[in-house]
């Protein structure tokens, strides 16, 4: 077959290589025309080749593997590659695609750049707790700057799956339980990665995932069945995906789970009716890892059948499993699909390559010198440290144990105190784990020669060695200690003897959350609980620094440990940032983006629940024949939106501009917030609304706005929200997006459970 060089290709296309790809009004149609002129030159095999996305990294998560990647690239049978970490390697591979394949079509290079590239930011659930959209966008921007100079032009982020189930390990990768907060974060992330202009070399294509409902897998077991009403989909689980589409996300990844009885990757209603027709998505759809192949196990047929179904449903690119590569031609010959359908998928991928400027310069993302300068630079690390401090949630601080003074004698104890590798948390593909800052490092950095720190490991992550081996993976060792639990505890108590305060670094190892890390027991592991008991029994004040990728049921600790600072997995600068928090150089201001249950039996538990026909009167525990439990109250351990500060904030009266409104009027709601404590601090002021009577049942409250304010001691600020009928809208029984007149409760407060409320009547 005739080989067409890139130059000849540009002549055939009637284009010049320097043709600009920058944002122009008629850009979309230009790219489409360019893509069509390439398609006209392509063989069927080459077109199908563009739909093939093999994995080249070390992490394999699926059930099949890609074959002969190098040969396939030369044969024009690869559209992109992912998880290659090395700008030189990427340049080499791109050279093969551009110089040795017949048409010289450049490859997309993707990676799971989830919460940072080499400079790691806190896990997404932690970032969500900052409630700071500028900060979140900035993390994505910095990640894009690092990744884009190192060969990467496409990230599989953001993950926006709403979840109400902390047993599901992947809650660590998302933004928690709320559709409003989740939607804002989805947009910020997309804006951060794509920078509003994909033609810039330091922006990358974003991929929102996992479409759809992946966070609702039954019993929190990863990849499990999902079954959900359309009302719940539209009102609660869809908004963040749609928000990402509205922000212009360039690609969408399908979920592993089924949606309404059909796996997402073959669900035409989902990918074509909803995504493309209702939401006007015009990018391309990629499956998750081997998700097409997995539809055979779902019970939808053999690889040929499921591959054809996926294409027909709206999938454009097949991640890893090669179902498209090996079967689409045969399905076409059998008349099961049309060449137009293949062309359409190919066109969408080529358009993305044009948007990214890869046809102008296939090596534009390989900027080794710049990579050297920006990646893991001291500036980025400093920003990461500052950002991490904004994600910590102070869960308890009895007797103001925190902040610590720098001359306090500290006993540092716990299996996570000296573990650098675990600091970045799950999905940190490009990170150099050994360069992360542990809590021990952080304390030494802060105190220098004056440090009077004693240290003991105190406990293993978990008692069960088999369980520990399952989470001591991906270059994140847990350093299991062969001593007995008693010996370790004894040592910890011994080193605490002369200390003024004990800092206990406890919680989950990084890989106890993340993909395929579901847990049925979300207590603090027994080994660490016993350690805590012994530390508390010393009578010294104990500060629990909690590392976790999910809400945990730390009921015992909440009762017995005076101070608890939840630091999630705070990224490469974790130790320095935590130290900033412990010493009060930064006052914690994070607010939970996901409810902490009292115990696993309360799950799913979330703030925006319905009332039921037999609600328990507020403040009560048990009444026979009411919706409640015999053995535990209905309240969570810590509600959505909760988080303390070293200072205190007093809320004044909720003021409303009116209590009776008509049509498109705007309601002004305001409240005075005063810093009544001794430290400067930040507070996230939250607005919730309840639609009291509806044509369908409505949640008890829904987040509709928030503002993060900074106040000096004694300072008061009036925080104002404007509410319009748009804030009252929801999907009704016919799935029309409407608002209904009637009574609404307006609530403002510092967390979802602690609000002041006033009612308004709003008529049409
Ligand atoms: C995960 C995705 C990820 C993909 C590629 C899958 O196992 O579900 O979130 O983007 O692998 O690494």
CATH number at residue 489: 3.40.50.1700
Could you write out the DSSP letters of every residue in 238-285? SHHHHHHHHTT-SEEEE-SSEETTEEGGG-HIIIIIIIIIIT---SEE
This prediction has a pTM of: 0.96
pLDDT of residue 20: 36
Tell whether 430 and 547 lie within a shared domain. Answer: yes
pLDDT of residue 6: 47
Count of the separate structural domains present in the chain: 3
Task: Output the CA–CA distances (angstroms, integers) from residue 434 to 438, 467, 476, 519, in the order listed.
Answer: 10, 23, 9, 27
Q: How far, in Å, from the CA of 427 to the mean position of ligand 1?
A: 9
Tell whether 688 and 744 lie within a shared domain. Answer: yes
Mean pLDDT in residue range 513-539: 98
The DSSP 8-state label assigned to residue 444 in this structure reads H
Is the distance from the beta carbon of residue 24 to the nearest atom of ligand 1 less than 6 Å?
no
Q: Ligand 1, closest atom to CA 214? A: 8
pLDDT of residue 62: 60
Is the distance from the beta carbon of residue 170 to the nearest atom of ligand 1 less than 6 Å?
no
Pairing of strands 318-319, 52-53: parallel
Tell whether 528 and 676 lie within a shared domain. Answer: no
Let me know: does 672 contact 718? Beta carbons within 8 Å: yes
Last residue of one domain, picked from the residues 602, 634, 665: 602
Is the distance from the beta carbon of residue 173 to the nearest atom of ligand 1 less than 6 Å?
no
**For residue 431, which phi and psi values (nearest 5 degrees)?**
-75, 150
pLDDT value at 262 more than 80: yes
Tell whether 14 and 46 lie within a shared domain. Answer: yes
pLDDT of residue 281: 98
750: CATH: 2.60.40.10
Active-site annotation holds for 585: no
Pick the residue with more confidence: 348 or 618?
A: 348
Q: How far, in Å, from the CA of 114 to the mean position of ligand 1?
A: 10
Let me know: does 366 contact 87? Beta carbons within 8 Å: yes
Residue 45 is assigned to a structural domain of this protein: yes
Q: How far, in Å, from the CA of 515 to the mean position of ligand 1?
A: 8
Give the model confidence (pLDDT) of 183-242 as tens digits: 999 999 999 999 999 999 999 999 999 999 999 999 999 999 999 999 999 999 999 999
pLDDT value at 469 more than 70: yes
**Mutational test site, ligand 1, from 124, 147, 515, 516, max ligand atoms within 8 Å of CB:** 515
Residue 623 is assigned to a structural domain of this protein: no
Is the distance from the beta carbon of residue 137 to the nearest atom of ligand 1 less than 6 Å?
no
Smallest CA-to-CA distance from 740 within 688, 695, 676 is with 695
Let me know: does 293 contact 271? Beta carbons within 8 Å: no
pLDDT value at 423 more than 50: yes
Residue 15 is assigned to a structural domain of this protein: yes
Tell whether 303 and 213 lie within a shared domain. Answer: yes
Is the distance from the beta carbon of residue 515 to the nearest atom of ligand 1 less than 6 Å?
yes
Mean pLDDT in residue range 640-658: 98
Residue 349 is assigned to a structural domain of this protein: yes
pLDDT of residue 66: 67
Q: How far, in Å, from the CA of 231 to the mean position of ligand 1?
A: 28
Give the model confidence (pLDDT) of 59-86 as tens digits: 555 655 666 888 999 999 999 999 899 9
pLDDT value at 493 more than 50: yes
Mean pLDDT in residue range 513-536: 98
pLDDT value at 22 more than 80: no
Tell whether 313 and 417 lie within a shared domain. Answer: no
Gap between the Cα atoms of 122 and 390, Å rounded: 10
Residue 203 is assigned to a structural domain of this protein: yes
Tell whether 289 and 201 lie within a shared domain. Answer: yes
pLDDT of residue 61: 58
pLDDT value at 57 more than 70: no
Q: What share of the chain in percent tops pLDDT 90?
A: 93
Q: At a CB cut-off of 8 Å and minimum separation 6, what does 549 contact?
A: 123, 125, 169, 171, 172, 425, 426, 508, 510, 512, 513, 514, 517, 568, 569
Q: Helix, strand or coil for residue 577? A: helix
pLDDT value at 550 more than 90: yes
74: CATH: 3.20.20.300
Tell whether 91 and 162 lie within a shared domain. Answer: yes
- Structural domain of 709: 649-763
pLDDT of residue 619: 85
Q: How far, in Å, from the CA of 165 to the mean position of ligand 1?
A: 20
pLDDT of residue 449: 83
Residue 617 is assigned to a structural domain of this protein: no
Mean pLDDT in residue range 468-483: 96
Burial bucket for residue 466 (CB in 10 Å: 0-12, 13-18, 19+): exposed
Catalytic-labelled residue, pool 132, 165, 288, 318: 288
Smallest CA-to-CA distance from 534 within 401, 414, 410, 405 is with 414
Mean pLDDT of the chain: 95
Pick the residue with more confidence: 450 or 521?
A: 521
pLDDT of residue 450: 82
Tell whether 308 and 402 lie within a shared domain. Answer: no
pLDDT of residue 7: 36
Tell whether 115 and 259 lie within a shared domain. Answer: yes
Is the distance from the beta carbon of residue 161 to the nearest atom of ligand 1 less than 6 Å?
no
Mean pLDDT in residue range 722-751: 98
pLDDT value at 19 more than 70: no
Mean pLDDT in residue range 314-329: 98
Tell whether 38 and 181 lie within a shared domain. Answer: yes
pLDDT of residue 17: 34
Q: How far, in Å, from the CA of 230 to the mean position of ligand 1?
A: 26
Is the distance from the beta carbon of residue 576 to the nearest atom of ligand 1 less than 6 Å?
no
**Mutational test site, ligand 1, from 289, 317, 318, 427, max ligand atoms within 8 Å of CB:** 289
Nearest CA to ligand 1 atom 12: 112
Gap between the Cα atoms of 756 and 524, Å rounded: 34
Min mean pLDDT across 39-53, 267-281, 440-454, 579-593 is at 440-454
Nearest CA to ligand 1 atom 5: 289
pLDDT value at 525 more than 70: yes
With bands split at pLDDT 50, 70 and 90, how would you rate the model's confidence at 16? Answer: very low
Residue 547 is assigned to a structural domain of this protein: yes
Tell whether 59 and 201 lie within a shared domain. Answer: yes
Residue 136 is assigned to a structural domain of this protein: yes
């Amino acid at each position: 077959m005739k080989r067409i060089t890139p130059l000849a290709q540009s002549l055939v296309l009637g284009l010049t290589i320097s043709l600009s790809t920058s944002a122009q009004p008629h850009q979309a149609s230009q790219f489409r025309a360019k893509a069509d002129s390439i398609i006209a030159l392509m063989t069927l095999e080459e077109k199908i080749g563009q739909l093939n996305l093999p994995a080249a990294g070390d992490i394999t998560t699926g059930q099949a593997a890609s074959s002969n990647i190098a040969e396939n690239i030369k044969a024009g049978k690869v559209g992109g590659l992912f998880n290659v970490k090395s700008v030189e390697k990427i340049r080499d591979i791109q050279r093969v695609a551009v110089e040795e394949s017949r048409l010289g079509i450049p490859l997309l290079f993707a990676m799971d750049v989830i919460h940072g590239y080499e400079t790691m930011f806190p896990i997404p659930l932690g970032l969500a707790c900052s409630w700071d959209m500028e900060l979140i966008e900035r993390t994505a921007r910095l990640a894009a700057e690092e990744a884009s100079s190192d060969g990467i032009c496409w990230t599989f982020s953001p993950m926006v799956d709403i979840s109400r189930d902390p047993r599901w390990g992947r809650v660590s990768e998302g933004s928690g339980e709320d559709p409003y907060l989740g939607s804002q974060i989805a947009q910020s992330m997309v804006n951060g990665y794509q920078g509003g202009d994909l033609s810039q070399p330091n922006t990358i294509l974003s991929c929102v995932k996992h479409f759809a409902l992946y966070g609702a897998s039954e019993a929190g077991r990863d990849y499990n069945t999902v079954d959900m009403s359309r009302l719940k989909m539209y009102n609660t689980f869809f908004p963040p995906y749609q928000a990402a589409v509205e922000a212009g996300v360039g690609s969408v990844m399908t979920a592993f789970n089924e949606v309404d009885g059909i796996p997402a990757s073959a669900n035409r209603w989902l990918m074509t009716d909803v995504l493309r027709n209702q939401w006007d998505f015009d990018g391309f759809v990629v499956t998750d890892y081997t998700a097409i192949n997995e539809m055979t196990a779902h019970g939808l047929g053999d690889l040929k059948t499921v591959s054809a179904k996926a294409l027909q449903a709206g999938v454009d690119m097949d991640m890893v499993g090669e179902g498209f590569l090996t079967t689409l031609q045969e399905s076409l010959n059998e008349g099961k699909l049309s060449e137009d359908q293949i062309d359409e998928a190919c066109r969408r991928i080529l358009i993305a390559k044009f948007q990214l400027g890869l046809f102008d310069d296939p090596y534009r993302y390989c900027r080794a010198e710049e990579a050297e300068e920006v990646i893991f630079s001291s500036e980025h690390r400093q920003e990461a440290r500052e950002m991490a401090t904004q994600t910590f949630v102070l869960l308890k601080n009895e007797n103001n144990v925190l902040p610590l003074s720098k001359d306090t004698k500290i006993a540092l104890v716990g299996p996570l105190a000296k573990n650098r590798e675990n600091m970045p948390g799950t999905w940190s593909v490009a990170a150099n784990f050994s360069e992360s800052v542990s809590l021990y490092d952080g304390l030494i950095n802060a105190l220098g020669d004056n440090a009077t720190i004693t240290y003991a490991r105190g406990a293993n992550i978990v008692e069960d060695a088999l369980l520990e081996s399952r989470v001591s993976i991906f270059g994140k060792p847990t350093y299991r200690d062969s001593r007995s639990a008693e010996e370790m505890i004894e040592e910890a108590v011994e080193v605490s003897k002369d200390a003024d305060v004990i800092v206990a670094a406890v919680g989950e190892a990084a890989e106890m959350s993340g993909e395929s890390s579901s847990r049925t027991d979300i207590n603090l592991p027994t080994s660490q609980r016993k350690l805590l008991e012994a530390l508390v029994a010393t009578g010294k004040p104990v500060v629990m620094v909690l590392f976790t990728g999910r809400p945990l049921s730390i009921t015992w600790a909440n009762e017995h440990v005076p101070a608890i600072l939840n630091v999630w997995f705070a990224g490469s600068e974790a130790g320095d940032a935590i130290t900033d928090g412990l010493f009060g150089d930064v006052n914690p201001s994070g607010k939970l983006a996901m409810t902490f249950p009292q115990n696993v039996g309360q799950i799913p538990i979330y703030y925006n629940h319905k009332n039921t026909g037999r609600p328990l009167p507020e403040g009560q525990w048990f009444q026979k024949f009411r919706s409640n439990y015999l053995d535990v109250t209905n309240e969570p351990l810590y509600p959505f939106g909760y988080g303390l500060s070293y200072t205190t904030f007093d809320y004044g009266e909720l003021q409303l501009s009116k209590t009776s409104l008509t049509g498109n009027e705007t309601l002004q709601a305001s409240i005075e917030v005063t810093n009544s404590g001794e430290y400067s601090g930040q507070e996230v002021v939250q607005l919730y609304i309840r639609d009291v009577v509806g044509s369908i049942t409505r949640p008890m409250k829904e987040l509709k706005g928030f503002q993060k304010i900074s106040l000096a001691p004694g300072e008061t600020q009036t925080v104002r929200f404007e509410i319009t009928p748009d804030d009252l809208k929801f999907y009704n029984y016919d799935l029309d997006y409407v608002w209904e007149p009637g009574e609404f409760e307006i609530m403002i407060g510092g967390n979802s459970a602690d609000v002041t409320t006033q009612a308004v009547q709003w008529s049409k």
